[in-house]
Structure 1
Amino acid sequence: MADTGFTALRQFSFTTRPYLAVDHETGEPIGRGDLDVRVGWLLDLISGAEAHLLARLWQPATFDVLAAGCDSHGRTLPMQGHVAAARLGWTPHYPDGVYVPSRVTRVVTAQAVGTLRALAYRDTAIIALSARFDPATGRIAAPTTAAEYVPSGFARGVVRQLTARARAAAGAADSADARLRITDVQAPPKVSAMARLSAADRQLSHLTVTGAVMTLTVKLPTAAAPAGRAQWRRVRLTAAIPPHLHRRPISEWHLPTLHLDHRGLLLRCAATEAVPAADLTSGTTAVGVDWSPATLGAAAITTQTPEGLVSDYRGFTYDDRGLGIKLARLQTEGQLLHAKAARLRRLATTAPPEVRAGLETKIVVLDEHRTAVGVKRAKINREMAFHFGCQVTGLAAAAGASVIAVEDLTTLETRGHGRVNNNRAAQSARRQAVDALTHTAAGVGVTVVSVPARGSSALCPGCNEPLSRPGGYHRAWCEQCKIGGNRDHVAAVNLAKRALLGREKAVRKRGRNPQIRVIEHAPVRRCRDKMCPTPRRPRHRRVRRSAPATTPRVGVNQTKTVPAPQASVWDTVKPATPQGVTGSREEHTSPTPATSVAGNTRSM
């Protein structure tokens, strides 16, 4: 890893929950239940106004303005969503008699414009694909210009929408020169109940951080339909900053996003910290990460020396600690719950009223269980992503690498590996793993770049010729170079090689990792020396959660794990040895119980 001596600013997010809420003016405490109710009223006002605004703006003219990026006077639209909405005259509507502060309106318009801007790209793609779509065959023609190119995975989703629309129209397709818009093939998007306070100013909310405590002051309504300004009061929320952020060089704390989940109010916060500035062109060592259908990923190291590129071809395979199997089980469970709920819905459409009520109750229970399964899967995916990021970052830091090369996810498709492997790879949280890897690698000054994935597992890193599979799918061997090994490790060497050769031509876009789009080849020879550190692989041993063993009493045989029971005062008569017993192999009869002796003693 190259140390440039400079620092760069980066943003990251975290979540926390308030443990104290008080009225800002009177200082009276507010219970958690009352706080959740008042936050729910705020989110209902915001989500209702946002949904109504999106439905009103769901027309082609809206996307034409966003695609052009200019208003009616030819001025460039600002980046701030609420400012752009104010310039275009997009104002939300609220129920009659309800008073909403203008800062809350800023939050509504900022969220709505952000959603529409994200869908403007899909509208442009649908225009290009619908012009090349053939309803009779359900296929799209090849693009004629570079501007018409759309990722294949994205194109397949649009083709499904176009096919469904053609079937709904009973095969009556539009004219060849007519182009569809996003408003023709799908309905307005559903909005989630949240409040991004970063779009407002101090009149709505402000944040202060003192030590390990965060204090958020925000205006909340005191009624479901506030009629005036007096029914909006400031509430001071106190939350704890997570312990892993206490010693981080954080330069700025940003206003959070309010969200309600099954546990209550959740604060989705963001912060800016200073990290070592990464230099993409100075390093000579790179780590390649190949996504695998069997596990989340594998890594290998390639080094550039004056004699050329070298690697020991000893890769590191990520151990998911059994979480992948758990994710597959939860996915199957969610699919079964979804299928069962869908079947009950079909039955409920023709069932009598009394039976329909019972079926609807069961459907609600199944939907709740399916939601809980989805929450579990999200937590496991996040845990696996950050654990994977820490493992690969530790490997890169120990090897002195300055670049981590990952496969370009836009060109990576899960096809041709069988139903089980395709499904496992498609459900893998690769995008979340890349984000986690980027976050952890930036903390040690390592840059994560994306490189083309085509041919990385099929070509030899030395001669760039197709590899053979003598030991099956997971093995690779080159007869010419006499190198090979695990298929994923060989692919990781290819990815690291492409990062080192194309680092001078990396393309940087705002909000994305640097991209290397040109594939260059140079032979990577096998080095006998150990080029990479041995990764730490802790053993996960079972821990017995039972109660600790008691201390043996004095006089008890220490070889026994369980202390002998305390003798009874009535156990004074030893049973006589039965006649005819000559050895230990003989079967002993039950001794005479001591209770009869005790009874005789008591009767005397």
Structure 2
Amino acid sequence: MIGPESTAQRQFAFTTRAHVAVDDATGEPIGLDDLDTRVGWLLDLIAAAGTELTARLWQPVTFDVLAAGLDGAGRRLPAQGHVAAARLGWNPHYPDGIYVPSRVSRVVTAQVMASVRTLAFRDAAIAALSERFDPVTGTLAPPTEPGDSVPLGFARGVQRQLVAFSRRSDGAKSTRLRITDVQEPPRMAAMAGLSAADRQLAQLTAADHELVLTVKLPTSAAPAGRAQWRRVRLTAAIPAHLHGRAITDWHLPALVLDRKGLLWRCAATELIPAGDLTASTVAVGVDWSPSTLGAAAITADGPAGLSSDYRGWTYDDRGLGIKLARLQTEGQMLHRKAARLTRLAATAPPEVRAQLETKIAVLDAHRKAVGIKRGKINRELAFHFARQVTDSAAASGAEMIAVEDLTTLETRGHGRVNNNRAAQSARRQAVTALAHTAAAVGITVVSVPARGSSAQCPGCDEPLARPGGYHTAWCSGCRVGGNRDHVAGVNLAKRALLGKCKATRRRGRLPAIQVAEHAPVRKSRDKTSPTPRRPRHRRVRRSLPTATPRVGVTPKQHVPAPQASVWDTVEPAPPQGDAGSRDTRTSPTHATPVADSMRST
């Protein structure tokens, strides 16, 4: 039951860093550099074991088992990755003489199962698309079954893999390929997801705006026994923006190492207002724009039908988009240069090859730094955009925000550079940030179909004209128009309001509306805000000001200012008492008679 005071639970992620580390048994402090070293040993063990297990499972029978979803006894595989791996007998192996606790093996198998389960979908898509692939022409035949269709961007990526495989195999015809045929097994990331472990490996407590994590860490790079795994108590500060929020549970973090040292990737569960999607009457449509990150417009559903003022709001990225474009160009240049040096190093003499490899390492380091900087800017851009849209929606009384379905959204027709720039924008990150920010105030974010949102009129559903170029839109029949992104926002909000009762919900995804319905959206003439002040023409005072003499002071001769008129082409004469000035004119005639004579002519 959803009411005005009802709440719901949602999970969110944040990051923090430990500032204190002590040995849990003795209480002796541990330096943060020593802590990073011991965590690095743990991550090396997990990454090596995960990579070995993934390579061992990289065969078609693995994906067949995952597709069936049953173990050897015919039972359904559980959702927990480490439990499913234990039932199937998929256990990691370690070098001889190294002791690793069983809870660390749980972490390894959970991460491997998450990666392999994600690739199971790609394996099924490659198997289906390879049957429609022609190695001679390098094209895909149209799908014959409705279930065979996949997003176009995903299909193009698989097509490139099939073309590369065809070149390696000299164009040999193969009716059915698997993911194990066209790509190598992935490498396991150096990360320790402690959520798969129990209290024997790690436990987390929160008190006084601090998180205390107790975890077992090795004391050497190759621990030989149980005694070389000791508990360490880490203390980290809870970020300030989480203070005062209704958080009900703190989850075990994932440990990673970056340039600054140990980083916690934490998750928590909090209570938020529960929004009723079916009762929404005002929606905000967000259209992704190639020139900026997005634009928004409002549509309302009332007794007279759908209405909108067709006056949208365009997001100002504060110049971050230009900076991202520059960094993207720089990263691509570094990649091309490193690739060229790699080709030269393949056939160079040994002494030249060593020099080229040093240059390649420097270029790779610079490219990685550029990528890190782009990631930070994208995160800042996404959350700033989400906050702006959420504040605008809350101020207008909206209960729903409609965004375009990113799986069917492709940027085309703007040139190679602009298409690539728009494809690499932080749209998906902005959607995640928007869903997180809007849920805190009880606003639901839904995805709607994107096709035709910028090309069709919200009133009559007919194609729009472009009288002023690409960024304008106008419907001569409905007499509405404006910025094409604002018109698209009206269309998206309309589709959300019409399909709100047919939205489908999937775990881990936004509520989705699959079909775009149409209803006319009239232009609202309701006055919702005060009339803005407009600049008026200010009349020029043509009468001469009268001088008021001051009492007790010898008054000076008053010289009036020249009249503000377009006819004032002659400069005024200097004061009469200034006979010795260099500015003395030959003719003491005032400007006013000249102007009057010009008017009379």
Q: Taking structure 1 as the reference length, what is the TM-score of the superposition?
A: 0.87
Contact 1:311–1:531, Cα closer than 8 Å, also in 2: no
Report matched runs for 1:44-63 at 5 Å. 44-63=44-63
Matches within 5 A, 1:232-311: 232-311=229-308
In structure 2, the partner of 1:104 is 104
Q: Which residue of 2 aligns with 1:158?
A: 158
**Distance in 2, Cα, partners of 1:360 & 1:128:** 41
What SS does the aligned partner of 2:452 have? coil
Following superposition of structure 1 onto structure 2, how do residues 91-490 of structure 1 map, counting pairs within 5 Å?
A: 91-174=91-174, 178-490=175-487
The runs of 5 or more residues in structure 2 that have no matched partner are 532-580, 583-601
**2:65 alignment partner in structure 1:** 65
In 2: Cα distance, 1:533 partner to 1:210 partner: 49
Trace 1:22-37 onto structure 2 (pairs within 5 A): 22-37=22-37
Change in Cα spacing, 1:115 to 1:432, as seen in structure 2 (3 Å) is: same
Note closer, same or farther for the CA distance 1:366–1:27 as it changes in structure 2 (3 Å cut). same
Give 1:4 shift.
2.3
Alignment of 1:522-601 (within 5 A): 522-530=519-527
Alpha-carbon distance in structure 1 between the residues aligned to 2:529 and 2:463: 26
- 8 A Cα contact 1:166 1:172, kept in partner: yes
Identical residues among aligned pairs (%): 73
Corresponding residue of 1:552: none
- The CA distance in 2 between the partners of 1:47 and 1:57, in whole Å, is 15
How much does 1:350 deviate?
2.2
Per-residue CA deviations over 1:274-310 (Å, capped at 9, x if unaligned) read: 0000110112000000000000000000001100111
CA distance in 2, matches of 1:483, 1:314: 11
Q: CA deviation at 1:36?
A: 0.6
Per-residue Cα deviation, 1:226-281 (whole angstroms, up to 9, x for no partner): 00000000000000010000111000000000000011000000000000001101
What is the CA distance between 1:347 and its match in structure 2?
1.9
Residue in 1 that maps onto 2:574? none
Letter in 1 for 2:247: I
After TM superposition, the structure 1 stretch with the greater mean CA deviation from structure 2, 499-508 or 421-430, is 421-430
SS of equivalent to 2:410 = coil
The correspondence of residues 500-511 of structure 1 with structure 2, limited to 5 A, is: 500-511=497-508
* Closer/same/farther in 2, CA of residues 33 and 532 from structure 1, 3 Å limit: farther
Change (3 A) 1:532 1:328: farther
- Aligned partner of 1:544 in structure 2 is none
Question: Equivalents in 2 of 1:162, 1:419: separation in Å?
Answer: 23
Looking at structure 1, the residues matched to 340 and 124 of structure 2 have their Cα atoms a distance apart, in angstroms, of 37
Most deviating of 491-500 and 333-342: 333-342
Residue-by-residue CA offset, 1:348-402 (whole Å, 9 max, x unaligned): 2222222222221111111111100000000000000000000000111111111
Q: Secondary structure at the match of 1:136?
A: coil
- 233-242 or 2-11, which moves further after superposition? 2-11
Q: Is the 8 A contact 1:312 1:531 kept in 2?
A: no
Report if the CA contact (8 A) 1:3-1:445 is conserved: no
Superposed displacement of residue 500, structure 1 = 0.2
CA deviation map 1:403-434 (0-9, x unaligned)? 10000001001111223321221111110000
From the superposition, tell whether residues 28 and 63 of structure 1 become closer, same or farther in structure 2 (CA, over 3 Å). same
- CA distance in structure 2 between the aligned counterparts of 1:441 and 1:133, rounded to whole angstroms: 43
Deviation, structure 1 residue 339: 1.3
AA aligned to 1:438 is: A
CA offsets 1:583-603 (integer angstroms, 9 cap, x no match): 99xxxxxxxxxxxxxxxxxxx
Per-residue CA distance 1:190-212 (angstroms, 9 max, x = gap): 22100000000000000010021
Amino acid at match of 2:73: H
CA distance in 1, matches of 2:176, 2:11: 40
Kept in 2: contact 1:312–1:530 (CA 8 A):
no
Shift of 1:3: 6.5
Partner of 1:38: 38
Question: Is the contact made by 1:4 and 1:279 (CA closer than 8 Å) also made in structure 2?
Answer: no
Partner secondary structure for residue 281 of structure 1: helix
Q: Give a deviation string over 1:122-160, Cα, whole Å, max 9, x none.
A: 011011101111111111122122221111110000011
Aligned to 1:83: 83
Query: In structure 1, what is the Cα distance between the partners aligned to 2:417 and 2:314?
Result: 20
Aligned partner of 1:428: which letter?
S
- Partner of 1:302: helix, strand, or coil? strand
